[in-house]
Structure 1
Amino acid sequence: MSIYIESVDSFNINEVKNLKIAKKQFHFIETITDCLNEAMKSSQWHPIAIYKGNIVVGFAIYGCFGENKETWIDRILIDEQHQRKGYGREAMKLLINLVLNKYDINTIYLSIVRNNDIARALYEELGFRYTSIDDLNGELIFKYNKH
């Protein structure tokens, strides 16, 4: 599967902003505009476009913070027209490898809304484990440890 990721820039930002998620997923993730605004305020956040061929099919944002290099894959979404094709799984695998290597770390965090069972199953399949800790918004914090 030819999924790849690129930084969000002036060439792809409009395509990224036009991505849509299914209505039933609206309460699972912040808007892309909110994510991009957050990245403009903090240089630790890195927004990326997820491509299939030459088409932007998704979006994600990751960041590394502090002396301990606490690293988060904070948001990922696949456009509703491209869901259920395995693109999210492939993009997550790429993101995991990217952040492990870029920051020379062994641990990655992410959080999910409590009832987002599809995302939870995917993340657990990829090796993330629930930490039994919830964030300030009540989301479940998951941790990935490099083997």
Structure 2
Amino acid sequence: MITWNKINADNWYACTLLEAAEEQKTLFPAPAVFWLAEAAYCGMNALALYAGKEIVGFAVYAIDPDDGNYWIMAFMIDHRYQSKGHGRSGMLALVKHIREQHGCKVILLGHRPNNERAASLYASLGFTEVDRTEYEVIRQLSMP
């Protein structure tokens, strides 16, 4: 059972211990604690991904005040829980959460151009590439 819960006083420390796989740290260089601090002080939403009672990942999302769209700023599955379907089921649940909580029609996210696993996952979930720089690929999911 995959669920998202707000990061709070009871689970924040466990989230700081989540890490990308060693070979992914160039693709996801900021540690979880950075994202939690940014979320706390910059008005973003931070969520812990649970598989049953175990925290397996986290996400940070926010609304862009310039265009009114929701952005997934960070999405990470801990290296110990990868290749178990948590990325796909977690992202599907996150999209559903954002849509239901905020009624948005568009969700955007970015990833490094050489992050082929992320590119494949996001494309398979309907996120289409809308922009690309040498440092980032921007993808958009439009919902009816």
TM-score (norm 2): 0.93
Shift of 1:16: 0.5
Alpha-carbon separation, structure 2, partners of 1:40 and 1:14:
14
Task: Find the partner of 1:141 among 132, 138, 144.
Answer: 138
Q: Is contact 1:112–1:139 with CA below 8 Å preserved after alignment?
A: yes
Q: Is contact 1:16–1:59 with CA below 8 Å preserved after alignment?
A: yes
**SS state at 2:59 partner:** strand
Q: Is contact 2:62–2:72 with CA below 8 Å preserved after alignment?
A: yes
Alpha-carbon separation, structure 2, partners of 1:115 and 1:21:
15
Equivalent residue, structure 2, for 1:3:
2
Matched residue count: 143
The 4+ residue runs of structure 1 with deviation greater than 3 A are none
Alpha-carbon separation, structure 2, partners of 1:18 and 1:132:
32
TM-score (norm 1): 0.92
Equivalent residue, structure 1, for 2:33:
33
| 115-124 or 16-25, which deviates more | 16-25
Structure-to-structure mapping, 1:9-48, within 5 angstroms: 9-29=8-28, 30-43=30-43, 45-48=44-47
- Which consecutive unaligned segments of at least 5 residues does structure 2 have? none
- Which consecutive unaligned segments of at least 5 residues does structure 1 have? none
**SS state at 1:96 partner:** helix
Task: Provide the identity percentage.
Answer: 27
Shift of 1:116: 0.2
Alpha-carbon separation, structure 1, partners of 2:66 and 2:97:
19
Alpha-carbon separation, structure 1, partners of 2:67 and 2:97:
18
